[in-house]
Structure 1
Amino acid sequence: MQYKISPSLMCMDLMNIGEQLAFFNQHADLLHVDVMDGHYVKNITLSAFFIEQIRPHTTLPIDVHLMVETPTDFIEQMAKAGADYICPHAETINANAFRVINQIHQLGKKAGVALNPATPIEFISTYIHLLDKITVMTVDPGYAGQPFIPEMLNKIKQLAELKKQHNYKFLLEVDGSCNINTYAPLFNAGAEILIMGSSGLFKKELTLEQAWQKMTTDIQQAISTIR
């Protein structure tokens, strides 16, 4: 089974950015950057300046998750800073989704959307064929370390079936509580990318190399149980 791992950089050790980026360059598939405005969610995290600073030090695609009220205020600056994927929340672009997706593509970037747990797939049905990535939130957005919402497994499965049925190009990604307890059901449902945060990768008691090895072993064991 093929899968991709995208470390969530809001959870990394910011005192050792260079060392950790060098490690991820050798092991990860993407880098996940959460941008929060303090309004759409009650938290403030990374920014275009952060992306601009790390861009010269990584060869990996940078995936920007826009947890902001007005994505159009951020899209161009994220693109200029070096983002490869730009993914606003579907709830924030419903009034102008086609224009937003076109803007991202015209900037030479890949367009995605994130779906909150309570947001149905039908919300994006008119433009799903234009998307390069869909992120299913398996926790409410804004903070790391929340419990997994099991009802999201059916949403992932439905999206995987739609992708296969219509030959859609989007990558199916999961954000929230990806860890030893959820790997098997997530992959069984059809997840293709796991965003790894505090519950699955970044452990204070382990070095990054140790945590990565444990994560990889746990994932392989989970995959071996899937039939």
Structure 2
Amino acid sequence: MMCADFTKLTQEVESLDAAGIDIFHMDVMDGSFVPNFALGVEDFKAIRALTDKPLDAHLMIQNPGNYIDLFAKDLGADIIYVHPEADPHIVSTLTKIKSHGKKCGIAINPETSIESIKELFNIIDNILVMTVNPGFSGQPYLDFVTNKIKKIVNYQETYHFKIVVDGAISVDKITELGKIGVNGFVLGTSALFNKDESYQVIMKNLKNLN
């Protein structure tokens, strides 16, 4: 949602809802873990009030464990993603998310190795693979991440988590990565926002890809 037009937020949310999106992806940035600020508490409250669709919170913030009660209990996030590098007690944080009856996920940066996160596969429901450096929209897709995605797919049968990709996800990338085994796609300016066609037309075309 960081790519949406916040001067007409109600219209944006209602149009996306009517177009049949599955979930609203909320990028929360603190200007510390990533060099940008985005979507704060009031933004989250506003969008939560406008839709019954699930909301996920992608917490690009330092020490996310301190804010799980806020996002899970008070703001109504349905899925919460945290970055292992930002949390010294990542297992406790993931467990805390689950204690609220929410789905937990880890978000991994392009440089994050599979070996450094593999033990967390026992806990998570989702893994959000960043295919750009987190913090800003409009970056090019980092091709080397595709090989990491292929390796992560091999763990799905054992651990049963869902794989979602985020960053420069174009129509071509949806087709390519869907064939590999990716389950979900975060759509920004590469496929959904700032286009000449309506959200309804775009979503209809995207859902007919596979």
TM over 0.5: yes
User: Does the 8 Å contact 1:63/1:86 carry over to 2?
Assistant: yes
Alignment partners' CA distance in 1, 2:64 and 2:150: 28
Match of 1:141 among 123, 131, 134: 134
Q: CA RMSD of the aligned region, Å? A: 1.7
Alignment partners' CA distance in 2, 1:44 and 1:197: 17
Alpha-carbon shift at residue 183 of structure 1 (Å): 2.0
Alignment partners' CA distance in 2, 1:215 and 1:102: 34
Alignment partners' CA distance in 2, 1:14 and 1:84: 22
Which amino acid in structure 1 is aligned with residue 45 of structure 2?
Answer: E
Report the secondary structure of 1:112's partner residue. Answer: strand
Match of 1:172 among 143, 150, 163: 163
Alpha-carbon shift at residue 218 of structure 1 (Å): 5.5
The gaps in structure 1 that reach 5 residues or longer are 1-8
Match of 1:217 among 202, 205, 209: 205
Matches within 5 A, 1:149-188: 149-164=142-157, 166=158, 168-188=159-179
Q: Structure 1 residues 215 and 24 mapped into 2: Cα distance closer, same or farther (>3 Å)?
A: closer
User: Does the 8 Å contact 2:56/2:79 carry over to 1?
Assistant: yes
Q: Structure 1 residues 106 and 43 mapped into 2: Cα distance closer, same or farther (>3 Å)?
A: same
Alpha-carbon shift at residue 53 of structure 1 (Å): 1.9
Alpha-carbon shift at residue 134 of structure 1 (Å): 0.2
Structure 2 equivalent of residue 10 of structure 1: 2
Matches within 5 A, 1:65-80: 65-79=58-72, 80=74
User: Does the 8 Å contact 1:179/1:199 carry over to 2?
Assistant: yes
1:134-185 CA-partner distances (Å, limit 9, x unpaired): 0000001000010001111121122222112x1x232110000111332222
Structure 1 segments of 4 or more deviating over 6 A? Answer: none
Match of 1:81 among 75, 81, 84: 75
Match of 1:25 among 12, 17, 23: 17
TM superposition score normalised by structure 1: 0.85
Which amino acid in structure 2 is aligned with residue 184 of structure 1?
Answer: T
The gaps in structure 2 that reach 5 residues or longer are none
Alignment partners' CA distance in 2, 1:97 and 1:70: 9
Structure 1 equivalent of residue 57 of structure 2: 64
Alignment partners' CA distance in 1, 2:208 and 2:172: 13
What is the aligned length? 208
TM superposition score normalised by structure 2: 0.92
Alignment partners' CA distance in 1, 2:46 and 2:17: 15
Alignment partners' CA distance in 2, 1:220 and 1:178: 16
